[in-house]
Amino acid sequence: MSFAVSAQLEARLDELTTHYPVKRSASLMFLHALQEEFGHISPEAVEWTARKLGLQPINVYELVTFYPMFRQERVGKTHVKVCRTLSCALAGSASIREHFCKKLGLDAHAHTPQTTPDGKFTVEFVECLAACGTAPVVLVNENLHEQVTTAKADAILAGGV
């Protein structure tokens, strides 16, 4: 897919830069918007952002590599982020992640995000999602699922999102 920012998106981003006295501040918001649109941050997206904000590409690239939410590879349409941190671990999040992986034929022992070959699902561990009272929690794309059981996990997989 070639990298082309629609006029509509560009207008939205231009408006964003007006929120800050220094354009560079809009970097993270640009990257969020571009990742939402294109699914990941490509080298073209980095260069485009740098050009728009009057920066060197390295200034943007170093953000993509620092902030865990930004990714340089494509991920599954349904992105399952299982909370790994203590309260969720106490409530069994490790077995929830394993369940997702097994159901999808992914390697439950791998360290990095796992994506199904058909590109439909990615499963990964993330750190505390600030919903520890309803552990274990799973963020699926933009939706938070709380008190997740294996049955709920199956429902998430069946529903796509």
Write out the residues near other proteins by the rule CB under 8 A: 19-22, 24-29, 31-32, 53, 55, 59, 62-63, 66-70, 81, 84-87, 89-90, 94-95, 97-98, 109-111, 125-135, 139, 142, 144
**Cis peptide bond prior to 117, omega within 30° of 0:** no
Among 18-26, 27-35, 52-60, 127-135, the segment contacting ligand FES (CB under 6 A)? 127-135
Distance CA(140)–CA(82), nearest Å, equals 8
Alpha carbons within 13 angstroms on the beta-carbon side of residue 160 total 3
Residue 144 Cβ vs ligand FES, minimum distance, rounded to whole Å: 9
- Number of residues lying near ligand FES (CB under 6 A): 12
Q: What is the DSSP letter of 25?
A: G
Q: Are 41 and 103 in contact (CB under 8 A)?
A: no
SS3 label, residue 109: coil
With binding defined as CB under 6 A, does residue 50 bind ligand FES? no
Judged by beta carbon, residue 5 or residue 31, the one nearer other proteins is 31
